[in-house]
Structure 1
Amino acid sequence: MTYYLETFFKSFEPELKAKIASAGTLRSIPAGEIIMRTGQYIKHTVLIADGRVKLYREGTDGEEAFIYYLEQGNACALSMICATKQESSQIMAKAVEDTMVIMIPIQLMDELMKTYRSWYYFVIENYRSRFEELLTVLDSVIFKGMDERLDFYLRNQFKNSGVKELPITHLEIANDLNTSREVISRLLKKMEQNKKIKLFRNHIAWVE
């Protein structure tokens, strides 16, 4: 755990890192596993040490509404809110890659906020970042057509993952954008014709 704290949470003061290392738990989560479910009471605040986690809302018919991704060095702001107020989760969280998380018991939240300045600023920055991401998603839904939403979505995916080949299916993209696989396949084909991307069986390459 010390390696992850030193490498991806450099803003934490040494005393805070030591506190988290002694009281926290390092957990490995395989790709595809659900980390948090709607209605579940949160017992830990989650720091992402490695991998990637998708947050989304699930509809009554099982459809998904994508919210945002969490990656190395991020924390789940919603878990912080629910943990602090002892409320149940209103979202789903799933590991989309093999993921390593640092789990901090909710009993420590008040102490960390009062004692460690770097934790206080970390929490505030996470709230701000997640709020801005929610605004971006909202703007995309309200003001953009599906072709623009797809272009923005893919650019963001490639930028955040830092790769040129994205392992994702047409159905996964359709679920994230709350549309049909057929619509996404048609728009992806158009993007490929415009030489923005190259389509493969189980991944998409960015070529623009």
Structure 2
Amino acid sequence: MLDNLKENFSHIFEDALIDEIGQVGVLKEVKEGEKVIEIGDYVRSMPLLLKGAIKILREDDDGDELLLYFLERGDTCAMTLTCCLGQTKSEIRAIAELDTTLIMIPIQKMEEWTGKYKSWRNFVFQSYHARLTEMLETIDSIAFYNMDERLVKYLQNKKKITNDSLINSTHQEIAYELHTSRVVVSRLLKKLESMGKIELNRNSIKIIAL
């Protein structure tokens, strides 16, 4: 675990902090599609991503989901930080997009390190800023983009996160995450295919030129 920590965070944290994380952190393996955090959970620890990716979702009163942003290697979740420090219930759902390895940091250490290590304090503030920026981009896409533009951005993000041109998602799964209907997603995907930008397969989409 210590080697993984150094590989992912040595450019951010000083050696003393990495050693402390190695001592108190709990290694957690999460399979693709498995929930990491559920809406309504009390969050007692903060995740640091060593490998993989996690998608963060919100849910409306009807139970429909909206994708807020992705977390990648070297990231943490600002929403988790807020829940931990405020000791409030989670308002987001976190699901592994890929097989993911995390280190879970106890809430007590989060507060202690904020005063003890400048690098930790900067990391927390930068994480808040990055996640806020991503949520603002999501809001902008809903408010100002057409659904076809949102779909293209979604597929581009999926390709970037998975580092793979083959997107293993059904039309219904994409519709859930974009908060729209399967019919709309299917129509727009067929349009992209007719333009030569993607290739549609059963339960998957191959990106050709997006």
TM-score tier, shorter chain, comes to over 0.9
Report how far residue 155 of structure 1 moved. Answer: 1.6
- 1:174-202: per-residue Cα shift (whole Å, max 9, x none)? 11100111111110110011111111213
Aligned partners of 1:203 and 1:52: how far apart in 2?
19
Q: TM-score, normalised by structure 2?
A: 0.94
Task: Give the ranges of 4+ consecutive aligned residues of structure 1 lying more than 6 Å apart after TM superposition.
Answer: none
8 Å contact kept, 2:98–2:162? no
User: 5+ residue gaps in structure 1?
Assistant: none
Residue equivalent to 1:144:
145
Q: Which amino acid aligns with 2:196?
A: K
The number of residue pairs the alignment matches comes to: 208
Residue equivalent to 1:20:
21
Residue equivalent to 1:88:
89
Aligned partners of 1:46 and 1:123: how far apart in 2?
12
Aligned partners of 1:12 and 1:202: how far apart in 2?
41
Q: TM-score, normalised by structure 1?
A: 0.95
- Compare 156-165 and 10-19 and name the one that shifted more: 156-165
- 1:25-52: per-residue Cα shift (whole Å, max 9, x none)? 0011122222111221110011111122
Aligned partners of 1:14 and 1:170: how far apart in 2?
46
Report how far residue 111 of structure 1 moved. Answer: 1.1
1:199 counterpart SS class: strand
Residue equivalent to 1:168:
169
Residue equivalent to 1:2:
2
Q: Equivalent residues in 2 for 1:117-196 (5 A)?
A: 117-196=118-197
